[in-house]
Structure formats: C-alpha cells, structure tokens
Structure 1
Amino acid sequence: MTRVLVPIDGSSQSTDALEEAFDLFPDAEIHVLHVIQVTRVPSDPEMTPYEYAKKKGQAFLEDAATTADTHDREIKTALIEGHSARTILRYIDEHDIDHVVMGSTGRSGMSRVLLGSVAEAVTRRSPVSVTIVR
C-alpha cells in the first residue's frame, strides 16, 4: 500500500494539500503530521508556550480528521516536536513514506531567504517525490 505524508500547519494551504492528497491517492494510507514549534506566548498565564503550541497542533489534527471524514477517508495522525523540515524528513524515513503532499505559502524573494521555506527544504532533501500545493 502507498503511504502518503501530508504535513500540516493549520494554514489553508495545508488543508488544500490534504484534500489534494485524497484526490491524487484514493487508495493510499494518509499520514498527517504536525510539527510542534513554540512560536507564541499564550494569553493564559497558566499555560506554558509549549502547552499552547501542543494544544494548537492537536486542534489542527482534529481539523484534518474532520476534513478526512468529509472525504470518507481515514488518516493516521502524529504530533511531534522539532524543527519542521528535519522532523518531516525523519518521519518519511521512519514510516516508509512513498510520497509527500504539502502546502506552500508561496513566499518569494527576501522573505523566503530570511524565513526559509519548509516546503523547499523538504523537496530538496526528501528521498521520495514531493507534490507542492499552492
């Protein structure tokens, strides 16, 4: 069976990538991964930044499960802390992934140079084919 990885970040582009994966790979086992990264301080003083990031990630995976339900599909989900591109590449190796479908925010010019592009890094280093959805 073909295994397809769809990394998600809560953006509309990652939701589009998940829907595209369902269309392109109707018989595949779909893995949905969110990489936890602490980028914001929560407004709730009782919650640590890590707890906040993890909670947001779980919500993204729940949204992905809802999207899967609307397509009458099942997905495997994972929530892992780490550097986005490296964690995605490690997941590919550890789970015998055959293809990656991921969204791109379409950054260009200086913002791409300064911020980097997870999609670009994964595409350059992936041992499997990568489809980028805009």
Structure 2
Amino acid sequence: MPSTILAAFDDSPQATAALRHALSTYDDASIRVLYVNDPRQWAGSDGIDGIFSAEKAFERSQEAANEIIAAATEIAAEYDVEITTAIEVGTVAETIITYAEDHDIDHVVLGSHGRRGFRRFLLGSVAQRVVRRSPGSVTVIRERTPTAE
C-alpha cells in the first residue's frame, strides 16, 4: 500500500522547498497538502472604520488560505502530481499533528520555519513541536526553494 505524505504549506520559501521535496521524492505516495489558518494571525487585520471585525478577519484569512492552496496546486502541476488539499483552522503545530493522526499520515514534510513573524527566528518552534509529537516520521527541509525540475 502506498504511503500517505503530509506537506504542511504556508507559501514561505521553506514550505515551498518542503512541498517540492515531497513531490519529487515520494512519487508513489499519496500527497496531502495542509494549510493551517491560525486565528492568532487575524488580530492584525484592520476592520471597518478601524474597528476589528472577527468575521471580516476570518473572511480575509480564508481568501488568503485559498490563494496559498492554489499556489500549492500549481507547484504540484509542475511535477504532474495530483494532490489532496485541506485548510484547517487552529494553531499550526497542534493542527498538523491532529491532522496527521486523523488521516493516518505516514510521513510529514515541512519547512524548518514559515512566515510567522518573529517566531520564524526560533528555528521553527512549529517544526520542533511537530517532530516531537508527530505520530509518524518527519522530514524538516531547511534550504530555500529549488528550481522546478
């Protein structure tokens, strides 16, 4: 039975490199791409007349999430690979781990850090938590996006 690979994707250079790694390395596997829409990132959204609107912030974040997933689909098309995509709302590391558990993921591939403000300098606190708690093996990609093959 082919394995199921989860590529956590946020459109950062590291996540793009991780997705490209998964697509080029696991050619006989089922590839799932997950974007986590983290509510903690919505707080900076401007609202109507300067007033924060959770509903508007969520709508904007979902639009951005759909664009990010579309980018992942375009990258997969470069490799002629069909992927399964998902957008989940939650904190990033915990959502990746829960998704991996709930979907019988055999292997997780993710970037060493994504684009999460100052947290990106902590050698990917998200990556560290996923490595420690993932139900399966994890590959962490550190390099920048390679060119398409």
Q: Under a length normalisation based on structure 2, what TM-score does the superposition of the two structures give?
A: 0.79
Question: Would you identify which runs of 4 or more consecutive aligned residues in structure 1 move more than 6 Å?
Answer: none
Q: How far apart are 1:49 and its partner, in Å?
A: 1.1
1:73 and 2:81 correspond: yes
RMSD: 2.0
**8 Å CA contact 2:24, 2:79 repeated in 1:** no
SS across alignment from 2:80: coil
Q: How many residues align?
A: 128
Q: 2:69 aligns with which of 45, 51, 61?
A: 61
Aligned partner of 2:22: which letter?
A
**8 Å CA contact 2:9, 2:35 repeated in 1:** yes
**8 Å CA contact 2:32, 2:85 repeated in 1:** yes
Q: How far apart are 1:42 and its partner, in Å?
A: 4.0
Where does 1:35-54 land on structure 2 (aligned, <5 Å)?
A: 35-38=36-39, 39-40=41-42, 41-42=44-45, 45=48, 48-54=56-62
Q: Distance in 1 between matches of 2:107 and 2:132?
A: 14
SS across alignment from 1:33: strand
Aligned partner of 1:48: which letter?
K
1:30 and 2:31 correspond: yes
Q: How far apart are 1:93 and its partner, in Å?
A: 0.9
Residue aligning to 2:146: none
Q: How far apart are 1:24 and its partner, in Å?
A: 1.6
Q: Distance in 2 between matches of 1:83 and 1:73?
A: 28
Residue aligning to 2:136: 128
Q: How far apart are 1:105 and its partner, in Å?
A: 2.7
Q: Distance in 1 between matches of 2:107 and 2:95?
A: 15
Q: Which runs of 5+ in 2 are unaligned?
A: 115-120, 143-149
Q: Which runs of 5+ in 1 are unaligned?
A: none
Greater CA deviation, 38-47 or 23-32?
38-47
1:6-56 Cα distance to aligned partner (Å, 9 max, x none):
011120111110000012201110000001013144457497111111111
